[in-house]
Structure 1
């Protein structure tokens, strides 16, 4: 083994990618917009490799699902920070549902007063959250599925099934992922109800955060699986004895988490500034460009896993990220809002953001209908991507008044939500046996976690 290929040399190379950002933060240097984007973006890349290696190494000592759940939380931590900032500003400015209802949409959009700006920030919190969730599925799930099939020719990934017919090759998922999919399904069903309350309130917090707590309680009690054959850095660290191995994992998690948390916000903010300087509307930047930047660590981590023919772990990470964003992220917004407001309050949003939540829930519903049989074909991945990207492009053109349609942007969202829901329901009906199997597997995981025997043995194989 050459010095350059030694696992520690690879770790040193990843650390080197973060040095520029560490130096910039330590000295407080003002790099300027473009250099900040470059330096922070390179740091995110390096930290993502460290995070992936930490999660893979951790599988030696903890259930893989739990290690991936930790990875997912760290990778999307910047998204939480961005959303929390807008929710805090909304609460600090007194943006209650009653106060915002008394203002016109134009006044809120223009931020004419401090209260109007607070109401605008409340809408931005929802927009950023829904944008991040739709990107994770529309680009993350779809893109990684296609990438996995494409890379299978070189990686020999056993999870990829080659089928005859146009774009019918598929990625097969491990049935152990049934727990994540089931809890995401429950959170998605609840999300359809959120707009009916006129804001995100304590009930949403209790239900969504409660779902995530129960999910973590189940997976943390799972068995440590016979480890997959790792290579490179994870394999090297897994040979270390206790207590050094878990200390390395904690170190990798801590360092990469700090790097990602501190570097992604300036990276996203720099991209926003570049976009605004080129005439892209603020709302569009907050909903799509900032979340795309904040989701980049997660996507990089999954690409690393897929390149190692670990597509199952990669999809586990993506689904776990979607689950914690669709539960913890939504559920904690009202908590942050209330803390800033100084008393209990409901995070308000307008009818446009209600439509954004509905289309986000509907997209999740459709994507889960695709995954309910534990596989996703290239054809299905492209359908998810095309529906996502076409809506974004059409809405952007509507906002810029580049096209004329018989519907406005809000009605467009509702139209797409209806398409997602109808097609998703048709898939669930056609795959009702797969749905029953998925719920049965998740129920057995829950029973096992509390020390009871599984009852759905027919789904074990």
Structure 2
């Protein structure tokens, strides 16, 4: 092995990418906005590689699903931090449904008073959360599918199926992700109901956090499977003996998590400032640019896995990220809000944010309908991307008065929600046998976890 390709040299290179940010943080340097974006962005890139290597190494000692779930939580931790900040500010400022209801939308948007700013932060918490979730599917799921098929010409990824027809090549996913998809279906169904409660409250927390705890408990019961695709740095660390191997995993997780957690906020904030200088509205920046920055570690990690012909692990990580954002993120911001408020409360949001939650749930519903048969084709990936990007661009054009449409921004969200739901219903109806098979596999996982024999399911009809 070339000395330059030795695993420890690669680790050192990844750590070196974070050195600039470590120096800026420890020395208290205040660089220009552009320089801060550059050094924090490099730190995120280096940390993402370390995080991916840590997760792959951990698969030798813990169930793969659990390793990926930990990876997903660490990779989206910055998104939790951003949303938690807005939820805390909302509670500390006394933003309740009753108090915010007495203010006009214009006053809240302008942040004329402390209460108005708190109500605005409550809306921003929802906007940031829904933006992050839609980016994860609209860019993440679709982009990784397209990248996987493209890279398969070099990696020879066995998960890529070459099929006749225009853009009909597809990525075939492992049926092991049936558990994640089933739990995500439950979380998506609940998300449609969240706006009907007038905010995010205790019932939402109990259901969504409980759902994720049940999921983690289930994957912990899974068998440890050795991967024959492990190469490079993870393979090197997996050859270490106990206790050095788990210590290496903890070091990789801890250092990368610290870098990501500390670097993403300045990275996102710097991008926001650059965007504002270019005339992009602040609300739009909070919903789209900040989440794009905070989701970048996850997308980089998955791209690394796909580059190693581990597309199933990559999609597992993306689905797990979506699941923990759709459960833990929604559930915990309500807890943080109540702590800041000093009493139990329901995190309020306006009608516009209700529509944002519905379109996010609609997109999730449609995306799961695409994956229910454990494949995603190029056409399906492009459909996910086009629906996502067209709504964002149309919304931006409406905000900037670049176009005139027969609907306003709020109605546009409802139109897209309807499109997602109708398309999802049609797909589930056409693929109902695949849905039954998927739910059967998830049921097998539950039965196995509680010590019962699984029901043998050979394949979908």
Q: Common fold, TM-score beyond 0.5? A: yes
1:113 aligned residue: 113
* Secondary structure of residue in 1 paired with 2:230: coil
1:2 CA drift (Å): 1.6
Mapping for residues 77-156 of structure 1, pairs under 5 Å: 77-156=77-156
What is the rounded CA distance, in whole Å, between the counterparts of 2:112 and 2:366 in structure 1?
A: 39
Cα deviation digits, residues 64-119 of structure 1 (max 9, x gap): 11000000000000000000000000000000010001110000000010000000
- Confirm or deny: 8 A CA contact 1:441 1:459 kept in the other structure: no
Secondary structure of the structure 2 residue equivalent to 1:4: helix
The corresponding residue for 2:312 is 312
Residue pairs, 1:408-419, within 5 angstroms = 408-419=408-419
State the Cα distance separating 1:246 from its structure 2 match.
0.5
Aligned equivalents of 2:437, 2:460: Cα separation in 1: 9
Q: 1:171 aligns to what SS in structure 2?
A: strand
Instruction: Provide the secondary structure at the position in 1 that maps to 2:3.
Output: coil
Q: How does 1:49-64 map to 2 (within 5 A)?
A: 49-64=49-64
Q: CA RMSD in A?
A: 0.9
- Give 3-state SS (helix, strand or coil) of 1:295's partner: helix
| Stretches of structure 2 lacking an aligned partner (at least 5 in a row) | none
Deviations 1:389-418 (A, max 9, x none): 000000100011111111100000000000
Q: Once structures 1 and 2 are overlaid, which stretch shifts more, 255-264 or 448-457? A: 448-457
Matches within 5 A, 1:18-417: 18-417=18-417
Q: How many aligned positions are there?
A: 461
Partner Cα distance (1:37, 1:80) in 2: 20
C-alpha distance 370-188 of structure 1, shift in aligned 2 (>3 A): same
Residue 459 of structure 1 deviates from its aligned partner by 4.6
Structure 1 residue 460 displacement after superposition: 9.5
How far apart, in 2, do the equivalents of 1:431 and 1:460 lie?
10
Partner Cα separation in structure 2 for residue 292 and residue 370 of structure 1: 23
Q: Deviations over 1:424-454 (max 9, x none)?
A: 0000000001111111111111111111111
* Preserved CA contact (<8 Å) 2:434 2:460: no
SS class of match (2:5): coil
Alpha-carbon contact 2:229-2:310 (below 8 Å) kept: no
C-alpha distance in 2 between matches for 1:258 and 1:276: 28
Whether contact under 8 Å (1:440, 1:456) holds in the other structure is: no
Write out per-residue CA displacement over residues 326-355 of structure 1, whole angstroms, 9 at most, x where no aligned residue.
Answer: 000001111000000000010000000000
1:166 aligned counterpart, secondary structure: coil
> For 2:13, what is the secondary structure of its paired residue?
helix
Work out the CA distance in 1 between the residues paired with 2:457 and 2:75: 35
Q: CA deviation at 1:456?
A: 4.2
Gapped regions of structure 1 (runs ≥ 5): none
1:164 match: secondary structure:
coil
Counterpart CA distance in 2 for 1:36 and 1:338 is 34
Measured after TM superposition, the shift of residue 228 of structure 1 is 2.5
Superimposed CA distance per residue, residues 5-33 of structure 1 (whole angstroms, 9 cap, x where no aligned partner):
10000000000000110111101110121
**Mean alpha-carbon deviation: is it higher for 26-35 or for 377-386?**
26-35
Per-residue deviation, 1:457: 3.4
Report the Cα distance in structure 2 between the residues aligned to 1:105 and 1:276, rounded to whole angstroms: 22
1: CA distance, partners of 2:188 / 2:232: 38
How far apart, in 2, do the equivalents of 1:335 and 1:297 lie?
Answer: 26
C-alpha distance in structure 1 between counterparts of 2:198 and 2:278, whole Å: 34
Contact 1:36/1:266 (<8 A) preserved? yes
TM norm structure 2: 0.99
SS in 2 for 1:347: coil
Between the aligned partners of 2:288 and 2:228, the Cα distance in structure 1 is 36
Matched residue, 2:435: 435
Moved over 6 A (4+): none
3-state DSSP class of the match of 1:346?
coil
CA distance in 2, matches of 1:48, 1:177: 23
Secondary structure, aligned partner of 2:273: helix
In the TM superposition, residue 455 of structure 1 has moved relative to its aligned partner by: 2.1
For residue 227 of structure 1, report the CA deviation from its aligned partner.
Answer: 2.1
Instruction: Quote the Cα distance in structure 1 between the aligned partners of 2:282 and 2:378.
Output: 34
Question: Normalising to structure 1: TM-score of the pair?
Answer: 0.99
State the alpha-carbon separation in 1 of the partners of residues 457 and 232 from structure 2.
37
CA distance in 1, matches of 2:282, 2:232: 43
Alpha-carbon separation, structure 1, partners of 2:456 and 2:383: 33
